[in-house]
Amino acid sequence: MYKREMADMIVPATGLGRLTVILSLLMVTSALYDGRQLCANCDEVETATECTNYMWCASDEKCMTSRYLTVDGHARFYTGCTAKRACDSLEHHGIALPLDSLFPVPRRVLDQSCCNGQGCNGLRSASKGRSLCMTCKDILNPSDCDSAVLCGEHQECLYHEHLQFNDLYQAVYKYELKCEDRNLCPVQNGTSSCHHSKRSPGCSGDYGCCTADFCNLFHAMYNKNLTSSTIVAGSVQLQTRGTPPPSTTSSPQSTKCYTGAGTGRVQLCTGSTAYCLTNLTNYNSGYREVFKGCVSEQDCYRLPRSTTSLSGHCDLFNEDILYERDFSCSYCCDKDLCNGRIVPPPETVYVPNTTAAPIITRNEPNDVTIHDCRDAMSVEQCQVFPCDNEHLARMYCRRHCLLCK
């Protein structure tokens, strides 16, 4: 039986906080593809907005649109990528974009233009409030998705990362991107989860909906880049990427870890992914999802040590308390079967060498404050990890109970 979380632990999310997360996600995802643009890529379409095929341009290219006459006198459109310097020449000097290398038969160009924005030369210009979403199924890399669709008025963009195992019982992540009816979106309504959805058997990992154009692609790319060998679930975690982890002690050669949604599966994690991970997603209904798997030291180093909105919940998480709040936490450990519980035993927790490469932390104005000590660990337990180890002290010692002072 859970104990219900005290009312004063619940901090309401502000509109400004949501906006900050959205803007931060857009800035982080823009860095993932080095400033490259996602552009419509079609030929012989009657209108540029008919194009549903997309491609990633090179970092020195922009999206372009050319309207031309066919040999039988019909106006058609070509959309794709062209060099930024060619766009500059077109804009400042009226020099036509070079198309001879693209077509075997010369074409009479009527007009041309360049634009600077994701998908700016395709369906986006006709969306009028409806979401433009990428649509692909069972792809290994979300950046390989090259098809888009204009969703219905009551639909949003769905991103779904699901975990499959190969013949060697190694995790393989695949992605599905598509439109989804808004009332069926699992993250938006906060009451359902992909693990319990009859419409998505075998769902695991990151799963939810968003509304900005191409947002399901960018969300999937962000999570794949952030935790490439990690089982990721629930809310997006924004983390300062920083430098690679410094070498501390020797990494384990292999570790037995629980994998999947519970403790029924044990897997030997070896090589570069020899650490055990537990990823917790808690919903405002009180329902929680827990995923376990193998992870690399580099991923452990850059995984959030706390959520961006409710940092105290991760540091002070107690499995016996019912938290009626949306938050997500990740924990790494390095001993056999150390991830059996959500919060691993303190002596097994991975602690990065922050002296050589400090982790940038945020000071949350609405941090959680707990005014009682009923769930505090014993003084003896906290004394094992003195206060100069801030990471462990915050996770295992209640600061307000003065156990570390």
Domain ranges of the chain: 3-30+237-371, 38-116, 124-226
- The 10s digit of each residue's pLDDT in 304-357 is 544 333 345 777 788 888 888 877 788 889 999 999 999 999 889 887 655 544
What CA–CA distance (Å, rounded) separates 329 from 235? 10
Q: Give yes or no on whether 3-30+237-371 and 38-116 have one common fold.
A: yes
Q: Where are the beta strands (DSSP E) in 190-253?
A: 207-210
**pLDDT of res. 243:** 35
Token pair listed for 192: 């359902």
**Helix, strand, or coil (residue 293):** strand
* CA 27 distance to own-chain centroid: 13
Q: Where are the beta strands (DSSP E) in 191-315?
A: 207-210, 254-259, 265-270, 275-282, 288-295
Q: Assess if CATH 3.30.420.280 describes domain 3-30+237-371.
A: no
- The 10s digit of each residue's pLDDT in 141-196 is 888 888 888 888 889 999 887 755 554 444 566 889 999 998 888 643 333 333 33
Which CATH number applies to 124-226? 2.10.60
Question: Is 236's pLDDT higher than 70?
Answer: no
- The 10s digit of each residue's pLDDT in 271-308 is 888 888 887 888 888 888 888 888 888 767 755 544 33
Q: Can you give the C-alpha Rg of the chain in angstroms?
A: 25
Residue bearing the bigger pLDDT, 17 or 99: 99
What CA–CA distance (Å, rounded) separates 292 from 278? 5
Phi, psi angles (nearest 5°) of residue 15: -60, -40
What CA–CA distance (Å, rounded) separates 346 from 396? 7
In this structure, which CATH number among 2.40.50, 3.10.20, 1.25.40, 2.10.60 belongs to the domain 38-116?
2.10.60
Give this prediction's pTM. Answer: 0.48
